[in-house]
Amino acid sequence: MFSKACKHAINAMIYLATLPEEKASVSMKAIASATASPEPFTAKILQELVKRNLLKSTKGPNGGFSIRKPSNEVFVGEIITAIDGEIIFTGCALGMEECTESHPCGLHFKFKAIRDHLYGMLWSTSLNDLAGSIQSGKSFLKL
């Protein structure tokens, strides 16, 4: 459903949200290790998240990455849109270029209902929600 980059971006953001507030910045290597993501791939993803204003990057020996806003104000939909764009929320189930209410594909109306539900769920689920699930042991970032 999401690109590989998007999945890793979501996991990186969740990991950062699980850290105590006094943990100012986390290195790219620590994020890659915690999320079982290759370091060069993680570096590119983190830079994209910085460029999209979801993360802050600090240079130097104590530098690293941190979430720009409080984790309860960052929603999964923001991360998906930053990495994969809006296609998951707007695209046609059958891949038609033009699929609208007035020119629908065969699945348009059923798929639109699913897309709308997915949109609502992803834009109402915060990093804080997901971090709490990790911290309680109900979910995991890697095997």
Q: Domain limits of the chain?
A: 4-135
Work out the pLDDT band at 22, boundaries 50, 70, 90: low
pLDDT in tens, 38-90: 999 999 999 999 999 999 999 988 889 999 999 999 999 999 999 999 999 98
* Beta bridge partners of residue 65, listed in sequence order: 26, 57
Measured between alpha carbons, how far is 1 from 135 in angstroms, rounded to an integer?
25
What would the mean pLDDT of 86-97 be, rounded to a whole number? 91
Measured between alpha carbons, how far is 37 from 30 in angstroms, rounded to an integer?
10
pTM over 0.85: yes
CA distances from 33 to 26, 51, 99, 106, 112 (A): 11, 22, 42, 44, 38
CATH fold of 4-135, please?
Arc Repressor Mutant, subunit A (1.10.10)
